[in-house]
């Protein structure tokens, strides 16, 4: 299977995906926020917030894992992307690092399928096209060097986000 074949795009609600893990675009506190973070916490039930409280937060560029509770996914990987401040304050590196940290957790747990949202592009303000390019490049590099996860899904809530990912994936061999 090629690198490109190991990446898929799905339009819809990440909380409905029956995969080994979904990635949450989390904040540093790991407590419920808005957007995809709030939707994941709502769908997983109150036990997710209770487990998150035991983790002591998570710095930007890193990730943590919890159970999926009421979600169809077994796990939630909480990745903290950067707040966009113009792009010259280390944001591209931090965004790539949060994807890499999520992938490392998935590989360590030998998770076969992991679904990612568009990290940092909501309230954190990262320009969508730039964030998409970083996500796809980081993912392709990881998959070239690692067997796990076997398949990654970019779950896009908005059709215009899915179009950006399709365009980026077209350049992956």
CA 30, CA 33: separation in Å to the nearest integer?
A: 8
Residue extents of the structural domains in the chain: 4-169
Q: Which CATH number is associated with domain 4-169?
A: 3.40.220.10
Q: What's the pLDDT score for residue 116?
A: 98
CA 93, CA 121: separation in Å to the nearest integer?
A: 15
Q: Name the more confident of 42 and 172.
A: 42
Closest CA to 99 of 165, 52, 154: 154
Q: From the candidates 20, 37, 42, 88, which is the catalytic residue?
A: 37
CA 76, CA 24: separation in Å to the nearest integer?
A: 7
| Mean pLDDT of the 90-95 span | 98
- Would you say 52 and 78 are in contact if contact means Cβ atoms under 8 Å apart? yes
pTM over 0.85: yes
Mean pLDDT of the chain: 96
Confidence of residue 1 (pLDDT cuts 50, 70, 90): confident
Task: Return the SS3 of 76.
Answer: strand
CA 73, CA 23: separation in Å to the nearest integer?
A: 10
Is 108 a known active-site residue?
A: no
Express each pLDDT in 108-163 by its tens digit. 999 999 999 999 999 999 999 999 999 999 999 999 999 999 999 999 999 999 99
Q: In 3-state terms, the chain is what percent helix, strand and coil (to 5)?
A: 40, 20, 40
pLDDT over threshold 80, residue 84: yes
| Mean pLDDT of the 44-69 span | 98
CA 143, CA 140: separation in Å to the nearest integer?
A: 5
| Mean pLDDT of the 95-100 span | 98
Confidence of residue 4 (pLDDT cuts 50, 70, 90): confident
pLDDT over threshold 90, residue 173: no
Query: 């949450």: which residue's tokens?
Result: 24
Query: Of all residues in the chain, what percent carry a pLDDT higher than 90?
Result: 95
């Amino acid at each position: 299977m090629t690198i490109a074949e190991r990446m898929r795009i799905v339009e819809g609600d990440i909380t409905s995906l029956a995969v080994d893990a979904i990635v949450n675009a989390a904040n540093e506190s790991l407590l419920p926020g808005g957007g995809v973070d709030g939707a994941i916490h709502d769908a997983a039930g109150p036990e997710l917030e209770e487990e998150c409280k035991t983790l002591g937060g998570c710095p930007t560029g890193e990730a943590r894992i919890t159970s999926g509770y009421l979600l169809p996914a077994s796990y939630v990987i909480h990745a903290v992307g950067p707040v966009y401040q113009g792009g010259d304050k280390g944001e591209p590196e931090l965004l790539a690092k949060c994807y890499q940290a999520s992938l490392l957790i998935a590989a360590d747990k030998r998770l076969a399928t992991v679904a990612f949202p568009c990290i940092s592009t909501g309230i954190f303000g990262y320009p969508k096209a730039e964030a998409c390019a970083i996500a796809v490049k980081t993912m392709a590099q990881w998959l070239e060097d690692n067997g796990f996860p076997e398949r990654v899904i970019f779950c896009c809530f908005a059709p215009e986000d899915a179009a950006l990912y399709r365009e980026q994936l077209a350049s992956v061999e």
